[in-house]
Amino acid sequence: MDALALWQYLGLAVVGLLAGAVNAVAGGGSMLSFPALVVMGVPPVTANVTNSVAALPGYLGGSVGYRAELTGQGRRTGRLAPVSLLGATGGALALLAVSAEVFRAVVPWLVLVSAVLLAAQPRIASWAARHGARSSRTGLLLSQFLVAFYGGFFVAGLGIVMLAALGVFLADTTHRLNALKGVLSLLVGSVSALVFVLFTSVAWGPAIVLAATGLLGGRLGVMAARRISPSALRRAVAAWGLGIAIALEVSRHVS
């Protein structure tokens, strides 16, 4: 390994630590690791696939750290797990079916939508409460299916989109919804990662680095989450997502 490659991997390790922490706190950590992989020269589709595989330990670490907040959420998880698995499978297969050019074209817009949804989540939840959306089991299941499909197709921003959707249909604290989001994200990530490992290529070196540091970051992120204002965190991650969306769109036209 030459000096440049060593520095790239060291930088990727730092990114993985931060991404795991952000995923545990509010979601959006993959919007750190995905651009890092692209900067390393990994093609966008392969970077997305690698990101999906590498995110799993971070999700696991976050879920373990949120054990207390998961208490009493067994029925919710059991209700949402099947649609999450179906949606993730559909999204992963859809990714394998599209061309690299199409993927590059839609990625900035996917990131932008996820950032806007997170920023608007309190207002959306308030509107939903006024109009009775939180009593709609069908709406909850359908939204989770669509979110899981998104996660199977493009992992970056999965936690942001899922947290926003859960907040619309479920009246609970941010930390409890974060805990539920972590478990469901683990399910979505596991299914999509299995599909990718079986049917396409993964950049295993970067994936291992991101996975190992993401696991540690996930545990550290849970401790930080309990000390951070949810509204401040939501605004910060949404702003980061907006910046990444703009950067990805600009890079598509200048590269």
- Average the pLDDT over each of 101-110, 154-163, 194-203 and give the range with the smallest value: 154-163
Q: What is the pLDDT of residue 179?
A: 85
What is the rounded radius of gyration, in angstroms, for the C-alpha atoms of the chain? 17
Mean pLDDT of the region 66-80: 86
Q: What is the DSSP string of 142-154?
A: HHHHHHHHHHHH-
Q: What is the pLDDT of residue 100?
A: 80
Structural tokens at position 151: 């996660």
Q: Inform me whether the pLDDT recorded for 14 exceeds 60.
A: yes
Mean pLDDT of the region 119-125: 71
Q: What is the pLDDT of residue 129?
A: 61
pLDDT tens per residue, range 183-225: 998 899 899 999 999 998 899 999 999 988 888 877 777 676 6
CA distances (Å), origin 187, targets 8, 80, 88, 132, 191? 30, 10, 8, 28, 6
SS3 (DSSP) at 58: helix
| 17 close to 214: Cβ distance less than 8 angstroms | yes
Q: What is the pLDDT of residue 109?
A: 85
Q: Give the whole-angstrom CA distance, residue 101 versus residue 161.
A: 24
Q: Inform me whether the pLDDT recorded for 81 exceeds 90.
A: yes
Q: What is the pLDDT of residue 52?
A: 87
Mean pLDDT of the region 141-158: 90
| 84 close to 192: Cβ distance less than 8 angstroms | no
Q: Inform me whether the pLDDT recorded for 99 exceeds 60.
A: yes
Block residue for tokens 């996660």: 151
Q: What is the enclosing helix (H) or strand (E) of 122?
A: helix 100-130
- Tell me, rounded to whole angstroms, the distance of Cα 130 from its chain centroid: 28
pLDDT tens per residue, range 226-254: 666 667 766 777 787 788 778 777 776 76
Max CA distance (Å), the chain: 60
- Average the pLDDT over each of 60-64, 140-144, 157-161, 176-180 and give the range with the smallest value: 60-64
Looking at per-residue pLDDT, the higher value among 218 and 24 belongs to 218
Mean residue pLDDT of the chain comes to: 81
Share of residues in the chain with pLDDT > 90 (%): 21
What amino acid is encoded at 85 in this protein?
A: L
- What count of Cα atoms within 13 Å lies in the side-chain half-sphere of residue 12? 29
CA distances (Å), origin 175, targets 14, 43, 163? 25, 35, 10
Report residue 24's pLDDT band, with 50, 70 and 90 as the boundaries: low
Looking at per-residue pLDDT, the higher value among 27 and 87 belongs to 87
Structural tokens at position 146: 């669509």
Domains in the chain: boundaries: 3-254
CA torsion sign for 175, 178, 183, 184 is: positive
Q: What is the pLDDT of residue 190?
A: 92
